[in-house]
Structure formats: C-alpha cells, structure tokens
Amino acid sequence: MMDLFGTAVLPGLSTEDDLVTPEEERALIAAIDAMDLSPFRFQGWEGKRLTASFGWTYDFDAGRLSQGEPLPAWLRPFRDRAARFAGLPVGALVQALLIRYGPGAGIGWHKDRPVFNQVVGLSLGAAAVMRFRRRRGAGFERANLPLEPRGAYHLSGEARHDWEHSIAEMNRPRWSVTFRSLADQTS
Ligand SMILES: O=C(O)CCC(=O)C(=O)O
Ligand SMILES: [Fe+2]
C-alpha cells in the first residue's frame, strides 16, 4: 500500500500536480476569503475550519441533502478542470465545498457522507498531509498522501469508500476546494 517513500498508493486514489497556476492559486484564495465563510458546524459543535458550500449540500444539522446556491462563476472553470482530471463527465461534480483552515485547524478522521460519491480536492496555501486509515484486525492499516499546494487529488473506489481520511492540524493557513458527485449518479 506504500511506495518506497511512504506515499499513499491506494486503489482509487490519484493525484495531479499543478492543477492550477500560482496566479490562479492567489486569485482562488482571495475569492474564498471574500466569501461569507462560516465555522463548520456538526451537530452543534463548531470546528476551527471556515466553510462555504455550493450546489447540492449536505446539511449536517438537518442530516439531509439540500440544494444550495449554484456554484459561483469564478469556481466553474476549476470544477470543469477537476472533472477532466478525474475522468468524470463535466457536470458530475454537483457540490463544491470551500474550506479555510486557520492556524491550528485540521480535519478529524472521517469518510465523506454516503450521499456523495467521488471526491476531487484542490489544495491551496500551506502543504499538508492527508492521512488514511482502515481497520485491520485489532489495529489500523495506514497510508499518507502529501498534499502540495496547487495539486489535486481524486478519491474514488476503495480509497473513497473503505478508508477514512484526516488532515493533521497545520501551523500555516491552508485552503481547499473539494468537488463531489452524488452517490446515485456516477460510479
Ligand atoms: O481539505 C481537504 O482537502 C479535505 C477536506 C475533507 O476531507 C472534507 O471536506 O471532507
Ligand atoms: Fe473528507
């Protein structure tokens, strides 16, 4: 499951360096920061991450999918680029989640909600490591994926459905844009 450098090589996980240019990265960060971001809330808990979501959105408080605001125009070319990288039909990625991780913020172990299927993420700002784990016997099998700024990752199949992922707290700000397809659309 690991290559010689300890990099995650999981079935269903692929990456692309430099999905966006440094200029596009700066513009995306400015656009995300200009949005009305709110602290991520899960069943009454507030996280240190600031988020905004567009398109089909999972409402954690209500526990169901609802249709939110459409993707802003500035985000659509990147959604299309993300779909091409992932080999998905343009238009399959019907959800976009913008996240700003302030210093000291990360994301705990989870699998993305089962209402969604494929996940394509774009990393901006500080480099980070996405950790993967799945239960094996009494312990966990583990893998790490370095997330370089401007790079993209695609979670599908086993990496998406069998493994949990998390991102350790970072000292410097990181932004991510994750796009998702719906579970009953593409496999
Ligand atoms: O910030 C990221 O790249 C990952 C975010 C994530 O795992 C999620 O929103 O489900
Ligand atoms: Fe996730």
The reply to whether 169 falls in a domain is yes
Residue 166 alpha carbon, nearest atom of ligand 1? 7
The reply to whether 41 falls in a domain is yes
The rounded distance, in Å, linking the Cα atoms of 41 and 164 is 20
Residue list, CB under 5 A from ion ligand 2: 112
The residue nearest atom 10 of ligand 1, judged by CA position, is 112
The reply to whether 187 falls in a domain is no
Instruction: State pLDDT tens for residues 59-113.
Output: 877 888 889 999 999 999 999 999 999 999 989 999 999 999 988 889 999 999 9
Sign of CA dihedral 22, 27, 32, 33: positive
Query: Across the strands, what pairs with 28?
Result: none
Task: Let me know: does 36 contact 28? Beta carbons within 8 Å.
Answer: no
Is residue 99 in contact with ligand 1, taking CB distance under 6 Å?
A: yes
The reply to whether 164 falls in a domain is yes
The reply to whether 8 falls in a domain is no
The residue nearest atom 1 of ligand 1, judged by CA position, is 176
Q: Taking Cα atoms as reference points, which of 122, 123, 127, 113 lies closest to residue 161?
A: 113
User: What is the domain extent for residue 31?
Assistant: 13-182
Count of structural domains within the chain? 1
Cα-to-chain-centroid distance, residue 50? 13
Rounded to the nearest angstrom, the distance between the alpha carbon of 66 and the centre of ligand 1 is: 19
CATH code at 42? 2.60.120.590
Rounded to the nearest angstrom, the distance between the alpha carbon of 178 and the centre of ligand 1 is: 7
Instruction: State pLDDT tens for residues 121-151.
Output: 999 999 999 999 999 999 999 999 999 999 9
Between 54 and 185, the more confident residue is 54
Q: Taking Cα atoms as reference points, which of 23, 6, 25, 7 lies closest to residue 15?
A: 7
Residue 165 alpha carbon, nearest atom of ligand 1? 7
Give CA torsion, residues 176, 181, 183, 185, to 10 deg: 180
